Structure 1
């Protein structure tokens, strides 16, 4: 086979040259992580890379994913399979999505729109965090076909802000609305605190020095401004300064959604809705009883508390309870197409990554997310082909050796 044919069999269609441009430097997401501290200020890297406490929860997520082993079957497929999937009535290029993140613009200024554009170009879901650095309307303009929205709880005045966000999401054409339930309190992330990041963004002299040592990041900051909670600005009574908006948003936001509140938002939102942060089969069953369309299995990536079970360990029990009654989504620790395959094999219909996309931004700036999506898609195709699955759905039929599988 000549070089061109080898490339075409290996590469994601339509993005061959861009992918090859950076493949040698960044062949997996871990190479983005290695490069990231050299490209962004130290506080930005600590923000994207850390978790709660001493990062034990992150390590456990990774270790449990690595512990999932699959027994392959051969003689059933000769080529890499297609990986497109349907989620909530929309066809996507792969069962790979960008998870909601708070403040990705801390890692690379302007990150929210960069991520949205990359997802739109690749036709994979992009979930904007409601406290992200771009408004609902801005993201809808650049990612109309793949735009999902994640929301936190704003309970004051009978959820006035929350229901208005639902109105704006509907007007903007958001595909899926996600309510996050796994953040009842905000916890301390030690590496963030040590790097100088607190409740607000107030750079000290050390942080300014770090910025000056990273000119590409600084230029992006000058173009895009300080990170801010963009979608919250219109509720802030005319406040425009970044920290004023952050203070306002945090005064309004608090606690995790209660089941009766979820029921009200289910009634208000006419499109597909997921609940993110489910870790117990009985909670999944409760969500289903309220008409929720998607069960998003997540431990918040180990960023809230490090003592939680790894997400992959609870996924099989939740998948067994949910069956075909809802779509099962997965996150927490996803670093590769092989991790996506593992989640599919244990019952998910799609897997989402967050931290890996932040590494890609830190290491490669605006080109990073598109490169990472291509890496994920190529790795997923190869992984499914290697185990004899001819589609993402067939991964679930694979024989899985899973050393830690929690029984409820």
Structure 2
């Protein structure tokens, strides 16, 4: 199977062009074939190896957290009101930058396993769609390269590297600053490594170890194999300068295994606040008490997340704790959200419950797996258009009015 129609120059210049054209244009035919993320996912599954798809879709342990996120989002009801139709506007200002939509790309470690070259394609999609991209510590392109491609759309996520009093952690902060990154995102919700049975069964490690089974898997996925030949094997580009030269993949992977350990203490977050002049966000907050701690050390944003169900299978659905955290924080920080976003309707649900912006990781990876390098841009436009449709249906022309829509959320978590 081929990658489908190639994007025209106009489409590359303006992602909105995915929705343009006559019913017989290549863009229009693609939109007819892949009108939802479920359709994108079915195509993605046919084009990438089984181990890559399992890595993308899987959670931890029994995948209960992934299922809980989906069920909880689906249970949120929003009530339309009619009679005053107005044009819908999705622009949002986050930390001094205006974006075209309140939808961004979440960090995904070793994203190149799902689609080789993923990090730079995410950066380009964010730039073209004018949405934020949180590039990860374990992304497959360096923060310098991401910032050069994405400009003001580039954010940077940090895991904890506590050795030598966080020497590498604070050097990464310095590098992000030098590259022009405006928003730093510290991940709190990975205190220990989780067990991911799908990856264990597939023998998924970096450097990748080829077996007869994986070789056959790759051979049966020619689009992925061709992308691998073009882009090279996934590597931890942000980490390469911290290992002894030559920085082979094996050395860098060993460094990552040894050095990335645990979460950040609040004292370290406070040191980040003192060292970083841009916006500081903490990611992985599920309890209002942690939100209060974050405010106390001076963060600018709180990203409510359960790591997409990939860390702790008994954690509540992130959407179910969002209202309580938003109520505690008020206007003292921007509330952001990820975990389970698959549509513009999901984005609208999160905004109605208190989020200023939402992020998705799996959705954008599915786009790459389904359509190659242009797939993340396709998903960006798909989600934005779906959000516009939902807002029009609700009678909420702005994000502020969407935040005030009548809703029913039976499963909202009560911390009292």
TM-score range, shorter chain: over 0.9
Q: How many angstroms apart in 2 are the aligned matches of 1:45 and 1:167?
A: 35
Give the match's secondary structure for 1:143.
Answer: helix
Shift of 1:122: 0.5
54-63 or 69-78, larger mean C-alpha shift: 69-78
- Partner residue, 1:275: 282
1:387 to 394, 400, 407: 394
2:180 to 152, 157, 173: 173
Does the C-alpha gap of structure 1 residues 288 and 195 become closer, same or farther in structure 2, counting only changes over 3 Å? same
CA deviation string 1:265-312 (max 9, x = no partner): 110000001000000011001100111000100000001111100000
- 8 Å Cα contact 2:15/2:129 also seen in 1: no
Shift of 1:21: 4.4
- Partner residue, 1:141: 148
Q: How many angstroms apart in 2 are the aligned matches of 1:56 and 1:162?
A: 32
Count of paired positions: 397
- Partner residue, 1:371: 378
- 8 Å Cα contact 2:187/2:282 also seen in 1: yes
CA deviation string 1:341-387 (max 9, x = no partner): 00000000000001111111111111211110110000000101111
Shift of 1:32: 1.6
Q: How many angstroms apart in 1 are the aligned matches of 2:207 and 2:407?
A: 45
Shift of 1:145: 2.0
- Structure 2 runs not aligned, ≥5 long: 1-13
- Partner residue, 1:110: 117
Q: How many angstroms apart in 2 are the aligned matches of 1:21 and 1:391?
A: 30
- 8 Å Cα contact 2:15/2:378 also seen in 1: no
- Partner residue, 1:251: 258
- Partner residue, 1:75: 83
- Partner residue, 1:30: 38
- 8 Å Cα contact 1:349/1:393 also seen in 2: no
- Partner residue, 1:357: 364
Q: How many angstroms apart in 2 are the aligned matches of 1:21 and 1:218?
A: 26
Q: How many angstroms apart in 2 are the aligned matches of 1:341 and 1:166?
A: 32
Shift of 1:78: 4.3
Q: How many angstroms apart in 2 are the aligned matches of 1:95 and 1:167?
A: 27
- 8 Å Cα contact 2:60/2:197 also seen in 1: yes
- Partner residue, 2:230: 223
How is 1:320-331 mapped onto 2 (pairs within 5 angstroms)?
Answer: 320-331=327-338
- Structure 1 runs not aligned, ≥5 long: 1-10
- 8 Å Cα contact 1:82/1:391 also seen in 2: yes
- 8 Å Cα contact 2:156/2:183 also seen in 1: yes
Q: How many angstroms apart in 2 are the aligned matches of 1:172 and 1:198?
A: 30
- 8 Å Cα contact 2:106/2:361 also seen in 1: yes
How is 1:314-325 mapped onto 2 (pairs within 5 angstroms)?
Answer: 314-325=321-332
- 8 Å Cα contact 2:16/2:381 also seen in 1: no
1:59 to 57, 61, 67: 67
Give the match's secondary structure for 1:351.
Answer: strand
- 8 Å Cα contact 2:106/2:133 also seen in 1: yes
Normalised by the size of structure 1, how large is the TM-score? 0.95
Shift of 1:255: 0.6
- Partner residue, 1:7: none
Root-mean-square deviation over aligned CA pairs: 1.4
Q: How many angstroms apart in 1 are the aligned matches of 2:284 and 2:248?
A: 32
- Partner residue, 1:306: 313
Normalised by the size of structure 2, how large is the TM-score? 0.93
Q: How many angstroms apart in 1 are the aligned matches of 2:148 and 2:117?
A: 15
CA deviation string 1:133-165 (max 9, x = no partner): 000111111111200000000111111101110
- 8 Å Cα contact 2:206/2:250 also seen in 1: no
Q: How many angstroms apart in 1 are the aligned matches of 2:27 and 2:308?
A: 27
